[in-house]
Amino acid sequence: MNATAIATRALGTLERNGTTYTLTRQVVTANASTPWKKASSADTTQTLTGILADFTDDQRDGSIIRIDDRQYLVAASGLTTLPVAGDRITDGTDDLEIVGTRPLRAKDVTVAYWIHARQ
């Protein structure tokens, strides 16, 4: 099976069985004219499809991976903005900050992203 077929199957599985999350990024729309004035910004949002593939107890060390941290696996297809540290992910009523991301690839095709998020 080639990488494209693997990516297509994995994406289909995530989309059929996944949950919808919201990715939010704050974008600066205008810089402050003087140091004591705030820059103006706006939130851009995007819908993600994925699953909560949480950390196991033995992965939670209390410093790098804290007790309340979560791990998501989200489909890469259709993303206009790649999730990065500092973005926010909304899971139901929980709003979490993204600590880090890493791609999941089949050869050179990015299928999904692991997202490490923290409250």
pLDDT tier, 38 (very low <50, low <70, confident <90, very high otherwise): low
Q: Where are the chain's structural domains?
A: 3-118
Single out the residue of 69, 83, 80, 81 nearest to residue 113, CA to CA.
83
CATH topology of domain 3-118: Thrombin, subunit H (2.40.10)
The per-residue pLDDT for range 78-114, each reduced to its tens digit, is: 888 899 999 999 999 999 999 999 998 888 888 899 9
Task: Catalogue the E-assigned strands of the chain.
Answer: 19-30, 40-52, 70-75, 88-91, 94-106, 109-118
